[in-house]
């Protein structure tokens, strides 16, 4: 697909694109919760959580298994149906704690001050669209609640990982933190931890993630 015009870029985030991506294989992701979510949320008191771009449901299921009441939102109904089936396999108690919701995250606006935890793991959009999404997500966090945003670090573009050559879609934790009003937010973590993974040719390389964890003061 060409990235030369805005219509093609928009197509990359459409329901049809992601439905087709999920239909292309029985499993797209590992089935394990994202490690930074596990690390950052393990000690939080369970409450209400929003899992943004919930995919095949691993993060939402992990949260629900720990007592959270989770809203899992994704643009793809294929992904959501798969996630719901996997939640059912985890047991009725877990499945009953998750509400799966199809929405276009380019425009979807959650209710303000609604969630104790908002988690967006590896959501990548062009910068202006991403800032708009993060602003809406931040507004949905209750006082005392947590905003956790994790993404691919811009340094990945200089590795053999095969990231798309779209620098505007990558960000640092500090860039995300800078969009939050310091009067309203306590920044707990801005980090770029390294991890090892295989590149498309199977070579083991080191990449970085951008991890931003903040708590709403009021």
**Is the C-alpha dihedral spanning 57, 161, 103, 210 positive or negative?**
positive
List of domains in the chain: 6-216 (3.40.50.150)
pLDDT digits (tens, 9 = 90+) for 127-149: 899 999 999 999 999 999 999 99
pLDDT digits (tens, 9 = 90+) for 6-56: 444 556 676 776 668 767 777 776 669 999 999 999 999 999 999 999 999
**pLDDT score recorded for residue 23:** 75
**pLDDT score recorded for residue 15:** 74
**Is pTM beyond 0.75 here?**
yes
In the DSSP assignment, the letter for residue 34 is P
Q: Percent of the chain scored above 70 by pLDDT?
A: 91
Q: Are 119 and 50 in contact (CB under 8 A)?
A: yes
pLDDT digits (tens, 9 = 90+) for 144-160: 999 999 999 999 999 99
Task: Mention every residue, 6+ apart, whose C-beta is less than 8 A from residue 16.
Answer: none
pLDDT at residue 216 is higher than 90? yes
Q: What is the DSSP string of 66-133?
A: TT-EEEEEES-HHHHHHHHHHHHHT-HHHHTTEEEEE--TTT--PPTT-EEEEEEES----HHHHHHH
- 78 phi and psi angles, rounded to 5 deg: -60, -45
What is the pLDDT averaged over residues 86-105?
Answer: 96
């Amino acid at each position: 697909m060409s990235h030369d015009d805005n219509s093609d870029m928009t197509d990359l985030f459409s329901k049809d694109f992601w439905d087709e991506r999920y239909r292309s294989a029985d499993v797209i992701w590992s089935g394990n919760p994202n490690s930074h979510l596990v690390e950052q949320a393990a000690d939080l008191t369970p409450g209400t959580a929003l899992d943004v771009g919930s995919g095949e449901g691993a993060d939402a299921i992990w949260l629900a298994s720990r007592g959270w009441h989770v809203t899992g939102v994704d643009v793809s109904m294929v992904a959501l149906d798969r996630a719901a089936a996997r939640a059912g396999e985890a047991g009725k108690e877990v499945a009953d704690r998750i509400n799966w919701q199809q929405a276009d995250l380019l425009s979807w606006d959650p209710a303000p001050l609604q969630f104790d935890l908002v988690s967006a793991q590896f959501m990548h959009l062009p910068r202006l669209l991403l800032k708009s999404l993060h602003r809406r997500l931040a507004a949905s966090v209750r006082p005392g609640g947590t905003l956790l945003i994790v993404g691919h670090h811009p340094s990945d573009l200089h590795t053999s990982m095969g990231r798309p050559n779209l620098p505007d879609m990558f960000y640092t934790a500090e860039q995300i933190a800078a969009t939050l009003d310091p009067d309203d937010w306590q920044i707990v973590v801005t980090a770029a931890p390294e991890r090892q993974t295989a590149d498309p040719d199977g070579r083991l390389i080191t990449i970085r993630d951008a991890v931003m964890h903040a708590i709403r003061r009021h």
